[in-house]
Amino acid sequence: MSAIQLHPAALTKAGFAPFGDVLEVAGADTRIINEGTTKRFHALATLDVADQNGVPGLSVFRATARPAPIKIAMMERHPIGSQAFFPLSDFPWLVVVCAAAIPSPATLQAFLASGNQGIQYAKNVWHHPLLIVEKEQDFLVADRLGNGDNLEEVWFEEGVYSELIIPSGL
């Protein structure tokens, strides 16, 4: 059996719109503040984490690279909170999402994000955990903290997966 190959598209706001927000300064609403010394790229995303038991919080995720070829054999989603990732070092990284109700290798989509682009998954959007190109990369993460069942996972059948192709030249 051969795996389906998954080729990342460049991450853009339009392409990622069904899944959430792209956090980037390009195209953002800007304001000059602090006596002219700072440019605010305003409201790249609002966090959607407010409920009776949840609060928005900041964490750091330190991701390490998976062995190549990267096999996508599961997906996850967070039913009661959005989750935002922003890279803390300027290396490209990878995003895999799925618009189908139940993910399968045939319905995955991949994006290549630059080291200056973050993303926020909307609630209930199927996505793969962090995927990076460099050996190690830190991300600032804004998500829901608190009690509640905020994780669903789906694992593909034994031996079924997509192979994520990392673009050459990175």
Footprint of a copy of itself on this chain (CB under 8 A)? Answer: 23, 25, 28, 33-35, 37-47, 49-50, 55-66, 84, 86, 88-90, 116, 118, 120, 129-130, 138, 140-142, 145
What is the nearest approach in angstroms of a copy of itself to the Cβ of residue 105?
18
Q: Which is nearer to a copy of itself, 88 or 165 (CB)?
A: 88
**Gap between the Cα atoms of 169 and 63, Å rounded:** 21
By three-state DSSP, how is residue 5 classified?
Answer: strand
Q: Is 36 left (phi over 0), alpha (psi -120 to 50) or beta?
A: left
Least separation in angstroms between CB 30 and a copy of itself: 9
- The nearest distance, CB 128 to a copy of itself, in angstroms, is 9
**In sequence order, which residues have a C-beta less than 8 Å from that of residue 13 and are 6 or more positions away?**
21, 22, 24, 27
Name the residue nearer to a copy of itself (CB basis): 63 or 112. Answer: 63
Q: Which residue has the tokens 């997966």?
A: 161
Which residue, 50 or 100, has its beta carbon nearer to a copy of itself?
A: 50
> Among residues 34 and 168, whose Cβ is nearest to a copy of itself?
34
- Pairing verdict, β 108-113 and 93-98: antiparallel
**Least distance CB 89 / a copy of itself (angstroms):** 8
For strand 136-146 and strand 83-87, is the pairing parallel, antiparallel, or unpaired? antiparallel
